[in-house]
Amino acid sequence: MKLNEIPMPRGARRKIKRVGRGSGSGHGKTSGRGNKGLKSRSGGRVQPGFEGGQMPLIRRIPKRGFNSITDNYLQIVNIESLQKSFKKGDTVTPQEMQAKRLIKHTDVRVKILGKGKISKTLTVHAHCFSKSAVTEIESAGGSITVIKKLVSSNKKVQDVKSSS
């Protein structure tokens, strides 16, 4: 006997009750939906969070926080990551960091932090540096360049590099 030859037990497939087929069927006229209202209509369903006209929980709970209009968002890179990812004498820019998957976006500011040690001579271009990162990079013989963000007259953001 094979799996496809096993007979199904009696009552395994229950017949679907057809509704709305006359009053003698027991589910005629309104098909068990009652009279009028949202749930009687075709496609009618109660939206998620609806509590029958009571103020929903999502609206009873107070709002929290706000969206800052200032550009305070930074991507953090530690100097130990620069030590691992770049060779001696390399120039480190946000584009290079994105290529090495140290940061996700080049249009968000980058801050270099001083976690770890660095022994390679690197020229690092970033928007912000911590004091410990500056001392570590310069003690290894490297140099830093601060990238300043300027807003032009046509409201488009441009990156202008200035050496320090």
pLDDT tens per residue, range 1-43 = 899 999 999 889 888 999 999 999 999 999 999 999 999 999 9
pLDDT tens per residue, range 107-146 = 889 999 999 999 999 999 999 999 999 999 999 999 999 9
The pLDDT score that the predictor gives to residue 9 is 92
Res. 152 pLDDT band, cuts 50 70 90: very low
pTM of the entire predicted model: 0.53
Res. 68 pLDDT band, cuts 50 70 90: confident
For β-strands 123-126 and 91-92, DSSP reports them as parallel
Secondary structure (3-state) at 20 = coil
Topology (CATH) of 74-163: Ribosomal Protein L15; Chain: K; domain 2 (3.100.10)
